[in-house]
Amino acid sequence: MATAAVTTERKNYLNAEYGIRSWLLTTDHKRIALLYLLSITLFFFIGGFFALLIRLELLTPAGDLLTADMYNKAFTMHGQIMVFFFLIPSIPAVLGNFLIPMMIGAKDLAFPRINLLSWYIYVAAGVLYIYCLATGGVDTGWTFYTPYSSMFSNTHVVEAGLAIFIVGFSSILTGLNFVVTVHRMRAPGLTWSRLPLFVWSHYATSIIMLLGTPVIAITLVLVVLERTLNLGIFDPARGGDPVLFQHLFWFYSHPAVYIMILPSMAVMSEIIPCFSRKRVFGYTFVAMSSIAIAAIGFIVWAHHMFVAGISLYSALVFSCLSFLVAVPSAIKVFNWTATMYKGSVSFSTPMLYAMGFIGLFTIGGLTGLFLATLGVDVHVHDTYFVIAHFHYVMVGGAVMGYLGGMHFWWPKISGRMYPEGWGRLAAVVVFIGFNLTFFPQFIVGYLGMPRRYWQYPPEYQVYNVLSTAGASILAVGYLLPMVYLLWSLRYGKIAPDNPWQATGLEWRTASPPPTFNFDETPEVTWEAYEYDKMPLPEEVTLER
Amino acid sequence: MFDNLPLWPTAASSHARYEDWLFIFLTVVSVVMTVLIFAVIAVFAMKYRRRHGREATQIEGSLLLEIGWSIAPLGIMMLMFAGGAVLYFIMRSPPRDSAQVYVVAKQWMWKLQHMEGPREINQLHVPVDRDVELIMTSQDVIHSFYVPAFRVKQDVLPGRYTTLWFRATKPGTYHLFCAQFCGTMHSGMIGEVTVMESKDYQAWMTSAAPSGSLAQTGMTLFQQLGCNTCHLNDVQGRGPVLKGVYGNPVQLGDGRTVTADENYIRESILVPAAKVVSGFRPIMPSWQGQVNEEQLNELIAYIKSLNPPPTGEAVTAGAPGGTTPPPSAK
C-alpha cells in the first residue's frame, strides 16, 4: 500500500526494493517500524470495537445489548488488546524503531535480525490471541486475578495467557535492541548529554521492558500451569495464595504503565521545543526524570492492592513511595510548560496534541494522587474513578503522544505532508471527545459505581450516557487521521527533508530516508535542541 | 437537587465524613494545579505565539526552579499521604467492642451471620451509631465488600479472613456492591445495607426469630462433630483446652508463638498439623471439605464465646462469651 503510493525520484527505504518478500524479510528498522504500524493499527481497531460494545451496553442500566458473559469478555479483550497489543508496542516499536537509529546517526539498530524476529513474535502472539478471540474469548479481566482465572473461569484463559506470554518476548527483544544500540552505536561526538530526550526516554522504557517483562511471563506461565495441572500456586483450596499472584502481576504491570507513558513523554520532549523554537527547559532534569520514573516505578506496585488484604504497614510504605514517583512526572510537566516561555509558539497539529497531552496527563497524574492516598483509595478503588484515571494517562497521555508523534514524523516516514487543517480539526475533536468520555467517569466513580459492571443502578445512568456520547465523538477523532493520513500518501504535498526546521539528526537526511539513513556518518558537535541556530520553518498554511 | 443527577454520594458512616474532607482537599489541590497549568499554557501560547520579527529567547533552565517545583509538590503530597494514612489506620483498627457479623461470599451472593443468630442473604441490618465489624471469607473466588455510602471496601478472599468495620451514622438503605470481578453475574452480586434506629433494630432482631446465637449453634456442632471428646472443657484431654484461647498467644511445638485469631483457628480446624500446640501430638484429623464456611464461623464463634468476658467492658448482646479482642491486622 505504502510502496505503491509513494513516488519520488531519489532512492529511499520505501522504493529501494519492491515485493512482499522485500517487506517480510527486511531487516531495515524503518520497514519493520511500518510492519509494526500496520499490525498495531489493526489491533487498535479491534480493541476499539470492544470499547464501542462496552459503551453501547452501558447506555442503559439494564444488561440488555450483550449477555453478561459477552460483556465480561468485551471489557477483558478491550483491556488486553489495548495494553499488550497496542499501547506497549505503539510508540517504541513504531516511532522508536523508526527514529532511534536515525536520531543517533546509526545505519540501523544493533541487531537488525532480532528486530525482525521481535515483529514475528508479535505476529505469532497476535494470531494466537485472535484465535482465542475467535473461539470464544476470555473473561478474566485484563488482570487475570486468581483463583478466578486459574480455577473458575470457563473461557480460553490458557490461550490468552500464552499469547501475552509470547508477546512479552517481542517487547523484551525491542528493549534489548534499544539498550545496546544507544550504548554502542551513537555517532561520533554524540555524547550522552547531547542525546535527544526522545532517546533518553526510550532508554528508560527499554530498561523496564528488560527487567519487568520476564516477571509477567513467569506469572502467566504459573497461571497456565495451575489451570492445566491443578498445581496449588495461587488457589487457596490447593494450598496456594491468591494475593501472591497480585504481587507478581503488578510488579510488572505497574512499571508497564511507564512503558506506555514514557515513550509518549519522549515524543513531547521533541515536539514542544520544535514548535516553540526553543531548547528544552532543564534538559538534565527531563532526562534524569525518565530514569527516576523507571527506577521508582518498580517499587510502587502494591498501591494496586490497598484493599486486597496486604498488611497495614506495607500499605503505608507503598502509599508513601507512590507519591515519590509523582515528583519526576511533575518535573517533566513543569519543564515542558517552561519551554514555551519566551518561545515562538506555533499551533501546528503536533503542538496541539502536545498541549492536549500536557493538560490531560496533568489531570491523569493528579487523580493518581487520590489513588495513592490510602483512605481515599479504599473508597474509589475498583470504581469508575480508577477507569477514568488510567484512561486519562493511557489515552489522554499515551495515545495523544502517539498521534502527535505520528503527525510530527509523518513527513519523514511517508515523504508526504498531511493536510494541516484536517490535522488540527482531528486534534481538537479527539480532545473534546476524550474529555466528554472520561471526565463523567470520575464523578460516577466517586458516587460508587464499580468497574466491570454489566448492569448498574439507574442513578448512575446520566454519566454513562455522557460517556457514551463522548466515545462516539472520540471514535470520529480517531478515524479522521486514519483517513487523511492514507489520503496524503497519494495526494499530500511532497515533504521537504526538514519541514519543521527541527534539530534532530533524523531531519538532516532525506524524507523518506535512504535505506541506510545517512550517506555518510554524521559527526555531532552540537547539543540537542539548538533552535537558535535553525531558521524558522515556512509558515504552515491551512490550505491543502 | 436534581433527582437524576446525583453529584455526591450519601455519607452515612463515621469514615465517610473524614474521607470526604480528604477528597475535597485533594480535589482543591488538583483543580488549582490543573487550572494553573492550563492557564500558563494558554498564556504562553497566546503571548509567545509566532510573530514576524520576534525571536525565541533561549533559556537553559533554572536549578532554583527545578528544586522548587520538586520540593513544593512533595510537601503537599506528604500532607495527602499523612491524611490518607491516618484514615486508613483507623479503618484497619476495629474498636474492641464492635458488634461482629460473619460474611461468607460466593458466586454471586452475600451470606451474613449475626452473632445473635439471625442469618441474611444480600441484606445486612445494622443499628445506627454502633461499631460493626465484619469478618469475611469467600467460598470460591475473590470478592470485595463495598458500601459506597460508608466509604469502605475490603477484598474478601478464599481461604482466610479479612475484616472491615464501620459505624453507621444515618438510618437508611444503602447499596452493597461486589467490587472485585468474580465472574458472570459480578454485577448481580449486590445487596442492601439497612441502618436502623436502635429500637427498630432490636425489634428486627427479635422478629428475625433466632434459633439461638451463632455461638450456641457452634456449640451444638462442636458436640455433633465430636470435637468435645478431645477438647475437654476444664481438664487436659488429647487436645488443648479451648477456653480462653481466642485472641491470646499460643506456644507451638516448634518453638514459635502465634496469636490464636480467626485465621489460626480456621487453619487448625482445616489443616490441624500445620501449627500444633506445644505438648500435643498431631493426631487431629483434618475437617477440610467436611465443614463449610458457615459452620467454620459457628465453631469460631463458639470458641470465642469460651473466653471469660473482660471486666469493665460492654457485653455484646446475645453472644454468651461477650466481647472479644480485635483480631490482629492481617
Domain harbouring A59, CATH code: 1.20.210.10
Task: Tell me which residue range forms the domain holding A55.
Answer: 2-9+23-353+415-425+489-533
Cβ of B65 within 8 Å of Cβ of A338? The answer is yes
Give the nearest partner residue to A448 out of B9, B58, B80, using CB atoms.
B9
For chain A, positions 49-78, list CB contacts with chain B under 8 A.
63, 68-69, 72
B228 and B129 inside one domain:
no
Cβ of A382 within 8 Å of Cβ of B146? The answer is yes
B187 and B289 inside one domain:
no
Give the nearest partner residue to B19 out of A376, A454, A457, using CB atoms.
A376
Is A138 domain-assigned? yes
**The pLDDT value given to residue A68:** 95
Cell numbers 512526572 label which residue? A329
Cβ of B153 within 8 Å of Cβ of A141? The answer is no
B267 and B161 inside one domain:
no
Q: Is B166 left (phi over 0), alpha (psi -120 to 50) or beta?
A: beta
A397 in Cβ contact with A264 (< 8 Å): yes
Mean pLDDT of A205-229: 95
For chain A, positions 444-483, list CB contacts with chain B under 8 A.
446-448, 450-457, 459, 461-462
B168 and B248 inside one domain:
no
Residue A529 has which C-alpha cell? 535542541
Residue A174 has which C-alpha cell? 525491542
- Distance between CA atoms of A313 and B74, rounded to whole angstroms? 21
B236 and B201 inside one domain:
no
Q: Does A362 touch chain B (CB under 8 A)?
A: yes
B318 in Cβ contact with B213 (< 8 Å): yes
Give the nearest partner residue to A312 out of B6, B184, B329, using CB atoms.
B329
Domain harbouring B254, CATH code: 1.10.760.10
The residue from B166, B184, B210 where one domain ends is: B210
- Structure confidence at residue A541 as a pLDDT band (50, 70, 90): low
Mean pLDDT of A440-452: 96
Distances (CA, A) of B129 to A146, B98, B171, B175: 37, 11, 9, 18
Contacts of A285 in chain B (CB under 8 A): 61, 66
CB pairs < 8 Å spanning A and B: 285
Is A17 domain-assigned? no
Is B120 domain-assigned? yes
Q: Name A246's Cβ contacts closer than 8 Å, sequence gap at least 6.
A: A145, A304, A305, A308
Nearest Cα neighbor of B326 from B103, B133, B153, B124 is B133
Residue A238, number of CB atoms within 10 A of its CB: 15
H, E, C per residue of A208-245: HHHHHHHHHHHHHHHHHHHHHHCCCCCCHHHCCCHHHH
Nearest Cα neighbor of A403 from A477, A501, A507 is A477
- Number of domains making up chain A: 1
B187 in Cβ contact with A75 (< 8 Å): no
Is B318 domain-assigned? no
Residue B19 has which C-alpha cell? 474521607
Is B140 domain-assigned? yes
Is A36 domain-assigned? yes
The two beta strands, B109-114 and B119-121, are antiparallel
**The pLDDT value given to residue A426:** 97
The three-class DSSP label of residue B120 is strand
Is A358 domain-assigned? no
Is A400 domain-assigned? no
Task: Answer yes or no: is pLDDT of A349 > 70.
Answer: yes
The shares of helix, strand and coil residues in chain A, as percent rounded to the nearest 5, are 70, 0, 30
B147 and B284 inside one domain:
no
The shares of helix, strand and coil residues in chain B, as percent rounded to the nearest 5, are 35, 20, 45
B160 and B284 inside one domain:
no
Is B165 domain-assigned? yes
- Distance between CA atoms of A197 and A271, rounded to whole angstroms? 11
Chain A CA closest to residue B91: A375
**The pLDDT value given to residue A2:** 46
Cβ of B178 within 8 Å of Cβ of A450? The answer is yes
A12 in Cβ contact with A3 (< 8 Å): no
Q: Does A307 touch chain B (CB under 8 A)?
A: yes
Q: Does A209 touch chain B (CB under 8 A)?
A: no
B115 and B183 inside one domain:
yes
Task: Tell me which residue range forms the domain holding B99.
Answer: 9-43+66-210
Cβ of A342 within 8 Å of Cβ of B151? The answer is no
**The pLDDT value given to residue B310:** 62
For B165, the enclosing helix (H) or strand (E) is strand B162-167
- Structure confidence at residue A430 as a pLDDT band (50, 70, 90): very high
The 10s digit of each residue's pLDDT in A382-405 is 999 999 999 999 999 999 999 999
Task: Answer yes or no: is pLDDT of A203 > 50.
Answer: yes
**The pLDDT value given to residue B317:** 40
Q: Name A55's Cβ contacts closer than 8 Å, sequence gap at least 6.
A: A437, A467, A468, A471, A472
Q: What is the dihedral of CA A384, A388, A394, A396, to 10 degrees?
A: 160
Is B328 domain-assigned? no
ipTM, interface predicted TM-score of the complex = 0.91
Residue A431 has which C-alpha cell? 480532545
B143 and B244 inside one domain:
no
- Distance between CA atoms of B215 and A485, rounded to whole angstroms? 72
For A474, the enclosing helix (H) or strand (E) is helix A461-491
B112 and B26 inside one domain:
yes
How much is the mean pLDDT over chain A? 93
Phi/psi for B127 (5° steps) reads: -80, 155
In the predicted model, residues of chain B with pLDDT beneath 70 are: 1-4, 209-210, 309-330
Q: Which of A283-287, A291-295, B115-119 has the lowest mean pLDDT?
A: B115-119
Q: Name B149's Cβ contacts closer than 8 Å, sequence gap at least 6.
A: A448, B9, B10, B11, B12, B13, B16, B172, B174, B175, B193
Is B252 domain-assigned? yes
**The pLDDT value given to residue A540:** 57
Q: Name A114's Cβ contacts closer than 8 Å, sequence gap at least 6.
A: A173, A176, A177
| Burial of residue B313, with CB atoms counted within 10 A of its CB: 0-12 exposed, 13-18 middle, 19 or more buried | exposed
Chain B CA closest to residue A345: B49
| Residue B107 DSSP one-character state | T
Is B51 domain-assigned? no
Output the pTM of the full model. 0.91
Is A192 domain-assigned? yes
**The pLDDT value given to residue B308:** 76
Is B29 domain-assigned? yes
Task: Answer yes or no: is pLDDT of A189 > 90.
Answer: yes
B181 and B260 inside one domain:
no
Residue B30 CA, chain-centre distance (Å), reads 29
B226 and B196 inside one domain:
no
- Number of domains making up chain B: 2
Mean pLDDT of A341-349: 92
Domain harbouring B156, CATH code: 2.60.40.420
**The pLDDT value given to residue B15:** 94
The 10s digit of each residue's pLDDT in A79-94 is 999 999 999 999 999 9
Helices assigned H by DSSP within chain B: 14-47, 63-91, 198-207, 214-224, 262-270, 293-305
Contacts of B73 in chain A (CB under 8 A): 326-327, 330
